[in-house]
Amino acid sequence: MIVAGMSGGVDSAVSALLLRELGLDVVGVFMKNWDEEEDGVCAATRDYDDVRRTCDTIGIPYYTVNFAKEYYDRVFAHCLREFEAGRTPNPDVLCNREIKFDAFLKFAEGIGAEKIATGHFVRTDDGGRLLKGTDANKDQSYFLYMLKSEQLRRAVFPVGGMTKREVREIARRANLPVSEKKDSTGICFIGERRFKPFLQKYFNAEKGDIVTPDGTIIGRHDGLMYYTIGQRRGLGVGGKGGGEGRRFVVAKDTRNNRLIVEQNERSELLYSSEVKLTDITWIAREPPAHSFRCAAKFRYRQPDQVVTVTLTETGATVRACEPQRAVTPGQSAVLYDGEVCLGGGIVSDS
């Protein structure tokens, strides 16, 4: 039996369909990981209804499991601590490690499943290596770099070798009710939210000064957790209508609660040639070498950047051949050897 994680979207729907067409015993399972209502309607209820209709069309049984407590304790609480510290976390990365490929995988094994299936655009090989998805624009290996080979061997990714266009065409031919459903965006399992009002429910943010690099005060910020490196919208200081006057966040001074902005989009303060990583994880559990050359992505969908990685006592130092713009503490730097994802770490400093 294969347990297919069903999100209510087209990718997971087609994954389940393809497995069923191979004659495999497939069970669809919807994970409810967030209980809050939005505009009086629980988004999870809408997604589950799409899962129910999809599974009926495919002809497979379906169930729901609730991991809301696990998600809050193991993913969301961590992200809140990161925001409070002035960093910008990536909840999708943690969600994959802690929920989809841990809590969900254990649930599936507990009901006798041989493997789990998801709609991620990635591939694997017999050695348990994680490979980029065929569709470069949809490749999601960036979000799965924290997994281990053992977990990958127990998972299948039916759409990883396809393009998004091919996935939608399969959904249309099979008359799946989600064939035209818009791709989900926003925070993993929480969805699209207005960022600042959402976080305001969890913080009593301390306002502070917005300053230029020389310390000149030019405005006030609403709380450092609401801003990220490279941001230019919503600052409320100059640059109305764009042009040379617009300002960009180049740093956060957490000790003095100051947001540092610069007027030049090409400011040297926005670029980094050396990045410090902590919380290093390797899919094969061991790094390729103490020091090695590879490619890196410092954000999702970024083209591969040539770097040299040197391991340290606390993590690794990554030196890029070309200066990298807006490398953000709390985000992930993911390392590659060609199509193979090696692992990665959390940016602590740049």
Final residue in a domain of this structure, among 195, 230, 265 = 265
Segment 140-151, tens digit of pLDDT = 999 999 999 999
Residues with a catalytic annotation lie at 95, 188
Q: Are residues 148 and 254 in the same domain?
A: no
Q: Are residues 145 and 289 in the same domain?
A: no
Range of the domain at 40: 2-173
> Which band of pLDDT confidence, cut at 50, 70 and 90, is reported for residue 199?
confident
Whichever domain contains 237, its CATH number is: 2.30.30.280
Question: Does residue 286 sit within a domain?
Answer: yes
Question: Does residue 192 sit within a domain?
Answer: no
pLDDT at res. 244: 52
Q: Are residues 259 and 311 in the same domain?
A: no
Residue 39 has pLDDT above 60, yes or no: no
> Which band of pLDDT confidence, cut at 50, 70 and 90, is reported for residue 350?
confident
Final residue in a domain of this structure, among 247, 265, 283 = 265
Whichever domain contains 305, its CATH number is: 2.40.30.10
pTM: 0.92
Q: Are residues 91 and 153 in the same domain?
A: yes
pLDDT at res. 42: 61
Whichever domain contains 26, its CATH number is: 3.40.50.620
**Whether 106 contacts 38, CB under 8 Å:** no
Q: Are residues 309 and 295 in the same domain?
A: yes
Q: Are residues 150 and 6 in the same domain?
A: yes
Q: What's the structural domain count of the chain?
A: 3
Please, what is the average pLDDT of the chain? 92
Question: Does residue 197 sit within a domain?
Answer: no
Q: Are residues 162 and 32 in the same domain?
A: yes
Question: Does residue 25 sit within a domain?
Answer: yes
pLDDT at res. 229: 94
